[in-house]
Amino acid sequence: MTHRVFKLAEADPAQLYGPSNTYLKQIGAYFSELKIVARGHEIKVEGPEDVIEEFEDKLEAIVAYVRAHKTLDQRILDEIIESRETLRSRNTMLKDEVILHGHAGRIIKAKTVNQQRLVEISSENDLVFAVGPAGTGKTYTAVALAVNALKNREVRRIVMTRPAVEAGENLGFLPGDLKEKLDPYLQPLYDALRDMLPKEKLDFYLENKTIEIAPLAFMRGRTLDDAYVILDESQNTTTSQMKMFLTRMGENSRFIITGDPTQIDLPKHQKSGLKEVLIKLKDIKGIGIVELDGRDVLRHPLVKKIINAYEQKD
């Protein structure tokens, strides 16, 4: 058996160990062959030498993340433990740049390398596709970029749209008028905006159409000038809908199109406009494509595992 002592000179033990030693217990559960005792800035470890070496690698990656970001959570810790190489590269690549200071002091910034790529590519291209599974922050990051552009007066308005496709439910049987029927489909966009703007300002912007949230069908026949435009859930567009939307692009407009090609709710005989357009437009200069994956999932840690399980099955 080997004994080693690791000193945490460059990290706050409270951040590293977590509340009530939650993170330390999570590390201990992964390295069940080791006896781990942590006191202050020292961690004493006893066990097989090869396992201790792996522990050292993981610990270095965790400390590097805490030193760079001054925080840690169970999702990040889970990623570090499962894939040290990925996280080490992420620790060095991920910039600590704020996209937007949101409502109630909320700081909104890219939390993964692919989210950061979305920020960077959107600054270089007027048309960007962000594709990936649920929970990877595609829509949230896109909304933050749009609100930031509006605040900086780079655009005069924000237009956000989704196709109103029934995901196993019947739209016609929902109660209320047309707006009340459609609002549930657009709710994720409202939720993101509430994180970024005070209620009074958001209500004002919605009332005077500085921010417009509408179903995709309402875009037909329009030209969108001086606007930051987001098409969300674009995997549920048909070929003709996607072409219609893309040709709404006007002067000084910027488009971000988000979608998850694995969650298509269209009838079986219809092709997804997103899948087709990614092939047709992939080599056109001025168009950026960012692919997010399970490593970018920012929801409950189980969501990432569920997504990985489905990908392996497919």
Mean pLDDT by 10 residues, the chain (314 residues): 84 87 90 91 91 86 78 79 53 67 84 88 95 90 96 96 63 57 78 93 95 90 96 94 95 96 87 94 93 76 72 64
Rounded Cα–Cα distance for residues 3 and 36 (Å): 10
Q: Domains of the chain (ranges plus CATH)?
A: 2-93 (3.30.1370.10), 98-313 (3.40.50.300)
**Which residue in 252, 160, 157 sits closest to 205, CA to CA?**
157
Q: Specify whether the CB–CB gap between 122 and 288 falls below 8 A.
A: yes
If you search the block for the tokens 């610990």, which residue do you land on?
59
Give the predicted TM-score (pTM) of the model: 0.70
Q: Give the per-residue pLDDT at 168.
A: 42
The whole-number pLDDT of residue 201 equals 95
* Residue partners of 290: CB distance under 8 A and separation at least 6: 114, 117, 118, 121, 128, 129, 130, 131
